[in-house]
Amino acid sequence: MVIQPIIDLVSLCAQKGIKNAILSPGSRCAPITLAFARHSEIKCRTVSDERAAAFIAMGMAQQLNQPVALVCTSGSAAYNYAPAVAEAYFQQIPLLVITADRPAEWIDQWDGQTIRQPQIYGKHVKGSFDFPDEFSKTDKVWHAQRMVNEAINLSIQFPAGPVHLNIPLREPFYPEVDEQFEFKPVKNIEVFASESYISPTQETQLEEKLKVFQKILIIPGQQRPDAETQESINLLASSGKAVVVTDTISNLQSAHTISFHDHFIGNSSIQEQLQPDLIVSFGNSIISKSLKLFLRNSTAAHWHVQDAGYSPDTFQSLTTVINVAPISFLKFLNLKLLQNQKYFTQWKSLDNLVKKSLTVALNKADFGEYKAISKVLNVTPDHAKIHLANSMSVRYVNFLGSRNQEIICNRGTSGIDGSNSTAVGCSFTTKDPVTLITGDMAFFYDRNAFWHNYSTPNLRIVILNNHAGGIFRLIDGPARQPELEEFFETNQALTAENLAKDFGFEYIVANDDESLEKGLNEFYSESIAPKILEIISESPKNAEILKKIKEMVASSL
């Protein structure tokens, strides 16, 4: 017999706008699974691999701006959620993580599929809640409903993030054949958050503080595209009131922002002229290590702007935290800042020089990953969503300048796990093309992302297969070690051809300019199946090409 508070949990999810759930098979979680599966307003999908399931749910929640429910059985299944839970926490993506559990008296008694699940995700969730394990008293029912309200509300309050609901369940798990589920309205505790704007008093104080700064550098971190923010950023930059430096994951790149900074920011001979008086940051992390070092070595004041919550000191120079909505502060800057065209021109002229010389260098370059990615991006539709795996994939795209597409990357923990699954989750939420650009190590690490029964005809995957972890050849430390190839690059001989057959993907392989151009001619054409474009290259050759291109660009400055 399925207990009513479990059914009420699912009813409350639907009332609060949770319309999607990713379920992984198991027996202990059967009551929860059945309640989700039988609710008419919640779309449920089943994914057997819990690690992939959690990243798929995260990929959906990131696009939907709403929590997605995750349900698994007890034991190690819950631990397999951990990488995605940590990623969602640092990316501030809402998830409702629901784990079935044994009753407390069976913990540490060598009972099957039994581990210590309360607080299992530690400090990588916004909150952990332990569901009652019996409901003989009305207070227990009230407590369960209050707990679900608190968990879901917490997941979407700024900063958004994952919450954990651990549910101990006793046998019997399964309803009788003719047993009906009653999805009735449940008390919904709503939270109405006020908008955070700069007050008149704060405006006066901030305006006075701004008077001592002339060279303003704005650094947007990782975030979703936002038209209003883009408009304010463009106005600030185009008017010369501030310099805006945009990594690809900021989703705020434009003709007015600085996008090629990775090529010149580390040049010591020009750093002096680029030094700011004030750094203004908002959003999450940035990619460019050179930019981080430049900012950490700066003596400028640093203001970080966000609605609320903990503020990191990424650049080791934080002087002021401004707890308002970033768009409110950007509008304030547009009204109050004066032009400094000279400072803006110093940055923009360097950006334009790199853009011109990089185009020439890429045209002259031999076939390899760098040139291939440039060609892929040239034909990727503007309305596509581009997912980037970590290591070299995201760095290549960041080197290549401004993008029109939405850029998505798991930069919360910056691991290689889960990039396939996150892209699959994204493809469940849209009919637009979803393109994943990934390396071979990240791709094969997460191959169970495709082990499900759902159609993803809009999914396109570009694999940079150099049969190694090529980034280690570009890092000075491991690159100089005799153990480089075996213990750092970890050479592997796989290609994606057999995987494509197993999962019904169309498969294209390219190993030179001609085969790449031929493959790209059909890569984005409509199809009933996803497509893989595998670009075969050699790790040492890629490192050599990247070095030559960097040298050519540097010589133009």
Contact predicate 214/340, CB 8 Å: yes
Side chain identity at residue 292, one-letter code: K
172 preceded by a cis bond (ω within 30 of 0)? yes
Q: 347 with 383, same domain?
A: no
Q: 242 with 289, same domain?
A: yes
CA quadruple 40, 41, 46, 50: dihedral, nearest 10: -140
Q: 370 with 314, same domain?
A: no
Q: 369 with 347, same domain?
A: no
CATH code for position 314: 3.40.50.1220
Rounded Cα gap, residues 97 and 262, in angstroms: 38
Query: Splitting the chain (557 residues) into consecutive groups of 10 residues, what average pLDDT does each group show?
Result: 86 97 94 96 97 98 98 94 97 97 81 85 96 84 93 96 95 79 92 85 92 96 97 96 97 97 91 95 95 95 94 93 95 92 95 96 95 97 97 94 96 93 98 96 96 97 85 66 68 90 97 96 96 94 92 90
Domain assignment present for 494: yes
Angle separating helix axes 369-379 and 539-555, nearest 10 degrees: 80
Q: 302 with 371, same domain?
A: no
Q: What is the pLDDT of residue 484?
A: 66
CATH code for position 85: 3.40.50.970
Domain assignment present for 507: yes
Q: What is the pLDDT of residue 2?
A: 66
What angle (nearest 5°) sits at the alpha carbon of residue 305, between those of residues 426 and 218?
85
Rounded Cα gap, residues 527 and 361, in angstroms: 35
The parent domain of residue 425 ranges over 365-555
Q: 297 with 380, same domain?
A: no
The region, left, alpha or beta by phi > 0 then psi within -120 to 50, assigned to residue 113 is: left
Domain count, the chain: 3
Q: Bridge-partner residues for 129, per DSSP?
A: 165
Rounded Cα gap, residues 115 and 104, in angstroms: 10
Among candidate residues 351, 380, 415, the one where a domain is terminated = 351
Q: 146 with 218, same domain?
A: no
Rounded Cα gap, residues 380 and 539, in angstroms: 25
This prediction has a pTM of: 0.94
